Chains A and B, each alone.
Chain A
Amino acid sequence: MYRYDEFDHDFVQARVAEFSDQVQRRLAGEITEDQFRPLRLMNGVYLQLHAYMLRIAVPYGTLNGKQLRMLGHIARKYDKGYGHFTTRQNIQFNWPALSDIPAILADLASVEMHAIQTSGNCIRNVTADHFAGAAADEVADPRPYAEILRQWSSVHPEFSFLPRKFKIAVTGAERDRAAIQTHDIGLHLKKNAAGELGFAVYIGGGQGRTPMVARKIRDFLPEADLLSYCTAILRVYNLYGRRDNKYKARIKILVHETGVEEITRQVEAEWRELRDADLKLPEADIRAIQAYFAPPALTDRPEGDQAVKLARLDSKGFSEWLDQNVVTHRHPDYAAVTISLKGIGEVPGDASDSQMEAVADIAEKYAFDELRVSHEQNLILPHVARADLKAVYDTLVGIGLATANSNLISDIIACPGLDYCALATARSIPIAQEISRRFASLERQREIGELKLKISGCINACGHHHVGHIGILGVEKKGSELYQVTLGGSADENTSVGEIIGRGFSSEEITDAIEQIVETYLGLRLDPQEKFIDAYRRVGPAPFKEALYAGEAKAA
Chain B
Amino acid sequence: MKILTANRLTDGIAVWYADGGWAETVDHADIARDKPAEDRLEVIGAKAYAANEVVDVNLIDVDVVNGVVEPVRLREKIRAAGPTIRNDLGKQAAKQATWAA
Q: Do A and B bind each other?
A: yes
Residues of A within 8 A of B (CB): 26-27, 29, 32-33, 47-52, 80-82, 95-99, 347, 418-420, 424, 427, 429-430, 433, 476, 479-481
Out of B13, B56, B79, B85, which one reaches A430, CB within 8 Å? B85
CA–CA, A419 and B79, complex, Å: 8
Cβ–Cβ contact A27 & B74, under 8 A = no
What separation, in Å, do the CA atoms of A32 and B46 have in the docked complex? 13
Docked-complex contact A347 and B12, CB < 8 angstroms: no
* For the complex of A and B, 9 pairs with smallest distance between CB atoms: A97-B11, A52-B12, A419-B83, A29-B52, A51-B12, A49-B79, A33-B55, A99-B10, A429-B85
Are A418 and B75 in touch, CB under 8 angstroms?
yes
Q: A47-B55, A80-B90, A99-B11 are in contact. Are A480 and B83 (CB under 8 A)?
A: no
Give the chain A neighbours of B72 by CB distance below 8 A: 479
CB within 8 Å of A: which B51-67 residues: 51-52, 55-56
Q: Does B68 make an interface contact (CB < 8 A)?
A: no
Are B85 and A49 interface neighbours, CB within 8 A? Answer: no
A98, B79: Cβ atoms closer than 8 Å: no
Q: What residue in chain B is nearest A99 (Cβ atoms)?
A: B10
**In the complex, B47 has a CB within 8 A of chain A:** no
Complex CA distance for A450 and B86, rounded to whole angstroms: 28
Would A52 and B11 count as touching, CB distance under 8 A?
yes
> Which residue among B9, B12, B51, B73 has the maximum number of chain A CB atoms within 10 Å of its CB?
B12
CB contact under 8 A between A98 and B74, given known A47-B55, A50-B79: no
Q: How far is the CA of A99 from the CA of B85 in the complex (A)?
A: 26
A418 in contact with B55 (CB, 8 Å): no
- The answer to whether B73 and A479 have CB atoms under 8 Å apart is yes
Q: CB < 8 Å: which of B9, B78, B90 contacts A98?
A: B9
Which single member of B12, B14, B51, B89 contacts A97 (CB below 8 Å)? B12
- Judging by beta carbons under 8 Å apart, are B9 and A80 in contact? no
In the docked arrangement, what's the CA distance between A161 and B84, Å? 37
Chain B residues in 8 Å Cβ range of A429: 83, 85
Residues of B within 8 A of A29 (CB): 51-52
Does the CB pair B11–A479 fall under 8 Å? no
Residues of chain A contacted by B89 (CB below 8 angstroms): 80-81
* Contact flags B62-101 to A (C-beta < 8 A → 1, else 0): 0000000000111100110011111001100000000000
CB distance from A348 to the nearest CB of B (A): 11
A49 to B7, CA, bound (A): 8
Residues of A near B12 (CB, < 8 A) are 47-48, 50-52, 96-98
Interfacial residues, chain B to chain A (CB-CB below 8 A) = 7, 9-14, 49, 51-52, 55-56, 72-75, 78-79, 82-86, 89-90
Residue ID in chain A nearest B54 by CB atoms: A33
Most central of B9, B49, B51, B90 by chain A CB within 10 Å: B9
User: Contact: B84 with A419, CB < 8 Å?
Assistant: yes
Residues in chain A near residue B9, CB distance under 8 A: 26-27, 33, 98
29 CB < 8 A contacts A-B = A26-B9, A29-B52, A33-B49, A33-B55, A47-B7, A47-B55, A49-B75, A49-B78, A50-B13, A50-B14, A50-B79, A51-B14, A52-B11, A96-B12, A97-B12, A347-B86, A418-B74, A418-B78, A419-B78, A419-B84, A419-B85, A420-B83, A427-B78, A429-B83, A429-B85, A430-B85, A433-B85, A476-B74, A479-B72
How many Å lie between the Cα of A152 and that of B55 in the bound state? 35
Cβ–Cβ contact B49 & A98, under 8 A: no
Given A82-B86, A418-B78, 14 more pairs with CB closer than 8 A: A26-B9, A32-B52, A33-B55, A48-B12, A50-B13, A52-B11, A95-B90, A96-B12, A97-B10, A98-B9, A99-B11, A419-B78, A427-B84, A433-B85
Name the A residues within 8 Å of B14 (CB-CB): 49-51
Residues of chain B within 8 A of A476, CB atoms compared:
74
Known contacts being A50-B79, A480-B74, A481-B74, is A347 close to B85, with CB within 8 Å?
A: yes
A27 and B78 in contact, given A420-B83, A433-B85 (Cβ under 8 angstroms): no
CB atoms of A50 and B82 under 8 A apart:
yes
Contacts of B10 in A (CB 8 A): 27, 97-99
Bound Cα distance A417, B56 (Å): 19
Chain A, residue nearest B50 (CB)? A32
Shortest CB-to-CB span from A431 to chain B, Å, is 11
Distance in angstroms from A466 CB to nearest chain B CB is 23
Q: B5 → chain A, closest Cβ, in Å?
A: 11
**Shortest Cβ gap from A497 to chain B (Å):** 28
Cβ–Cβ < 8 Å partners of A48 in chain B:
12
**Residue numbers in B under 8 Å from A81 (CB-CB):** 89
Which residues on A sit within 8 Å (CB–CB) of B11?
51-52, 97-99
CB distance from B36 to the nearest CB of A (A): 27
